[in-house]
Amino acid sequence: MSTQNCWARSWSPTSWSRRSPARDSDEPHDARRRYYRLTPLGREAASRETALLARLVDVAAAAGLLGNRESA
């Protein structure tokens, strides 16, 4: 998810993520590219969001809305 999408969802990049230096010096350099890492607060928020999405998938599956999931 891009930082712009996070802002659109009212996420606070200053409290959920921190700017980080590029990790792989073998990659071609792109001055426009920015790297971020999750803060502990961001990791907690991502964990809560993931749990919510998992519950939504369970409800959709119970309602028969997912169809055949063997190919997924």
Residue 18's domain comprises 3-62
Does 51 fall in a domain? Answer: yes
CA 19/CA 13 separation, integer angstroms: 9
How confident is the model at residue 36, as a pLDDT? 81
Does 67 fall in a domain? Answer: no
Which of 1-10, 38-47, 56-65 bottoms out in mean pLDDT, i.e. has the lowest?
A: 1-10
pLDDT at 61 exceeding the cut of 60? yes
Overall domain count for the chain: 1
pLDDT mean over 21-29:
66
How confident is the model at residue 19, as a pLDDT? 75
pLDDT mean over 38-62:
94
35 DSSP β-pair partners: 20
38 backbone dihedrals φ, ψ, rounded to 5°: -75, 140
Percent of the chain with pLDDT over 90: 35
Does 11 fall in a domain? Answer: yes
Does 71 fall in a domain? Answer: no
Does 44 fall in a domain? Answer: yes
Does 43 fall in a domain? Answer: yes
How confident is the model at residue 67, as a pLDDT? 84
